[in-house]
Amino acid sequence: QQKVQQSPESLTVSEGAMASLNCTFSDGTSDNFRWYRQHSGKGLEMLVSIFSDGEKEEGRFTAHLNRASLHVSLHIREPQPSDSAVYLCAVNMGYKLTFGTGTSLLVDP
Amino acid sequence: EAAVTQSPRNKVAVTGGKVTLSCNQTNNHNNMYWYRQDTGHGLRLIHYSYGAGSTEKGDIPDGYKASRPSQENFSLILELATPSQTSVYFCASGETRGANSDYTFGSGTRLLVI
């Protein structure tokens, strides 16, 4: 069964500084890897989906995937207080989307 | 616009009562899913469906049933609700296309069992 772990559990950064979040998974043959953002009490907003090793950029959000290392990261450029939220890593294999437990990001103004 | 709509948004139920959570999708996706979200656990898969008439057990199906009467609708049923089922429930629809899989999530249903 796919295991997805995220680190750190919580992260505080200053407005404008780069924020880096990490996710490790157990099966490198998974189809694709996603990052979602969830503001408090709200639903899931997909930020970026990646399936090839390397990086994929969507606006201020960049995902880096290394299947051999079983690692995918999310980097947020110039974070703003409105980016304060929980960030969820999800790994897709076949029909199934398996989630990590999330990183809570706080961006200080 | 294609969407996943959940109802109700909030629900208070009594222990031992029956609860039905409803989900409707306009994406014409074959697959539908029910997850619950609890602090420290992320989202966990309860039941899923490949199409009308099918339901399959996910990772934590105990205490839950599901029903998929049509392509558009997928319900989660708690026959005898317990306080441990207090959670936020998310419905999703999806198509599995390998690298280009597509998923859409609803806004969630907050369930409190007292």
> With contacts defined as CB-CB under 8 Å, which chain B residues touch A88?
42-43
- pLDDT over 90 at A93, yes or no: no
Residue B92: half-sphere exposure toward Cβ, Cα within 13 Å? 28
* Cβ contact B50–A42 (<8 Å): no
Question: Rg of chain A's alpha carbons, rounded to an integer?
Answer: 13
Is the Cα torsion angle B28, B33, B38, B44 positive or negative in sign?
A: negative
Q: Looking at the complex, does the CB of residue B50 fall below 8 Å from at least one CB of chain A? A: yes
Contact of B49 with B71, CB cutoff 8 Å = no
Q: How far apart are CA A17 and CA A56, in angstroms?
A: 20
- pLDDT over 90 at A41, yes or no: no
Q: Confidence class of residue B12 from pLDDT cuts 50, 70 and 90?
A: very high
Q: Confidence class of residue A58 from pLDDT cuts 50, 70 and 90?
A: very high
- pLDDT over 70 at B65, yes or no: yes
Is the Cα torsion angle A82, A25, B25, B95 positive or negative in sign?
A: positive
Amino acid at B53: G
- pLDDT over 70 at B2, yes or no: no
* Cβ contact A31–B105 (<8 Å): no
3-state helix, strand, coil in chain A (%, to 5): 5, 60, 40
Q: Please indicate whether residue B74 or residue A2 has the higher confidence score (pLDDT).
A: B74
> With contacts defined as CB-CB under 8 Å, which chain A residues touch B107?
42-43
Cα-based angle A55, A13, A44 (whole degrees, multiple of 5): 60
Q: Confidence class of residue A30 from pLDDT cuts 50, 70 and 90?
A: confident
Query: Of the candidates A4, A95, A101, which has its C-beta nearest B48's C-beta?
Result: A95
Q: How far apart are CA B80 and CA B22, in angstroms?
A: 17
Q: What is the pLDDT of residue A100?
A: 95
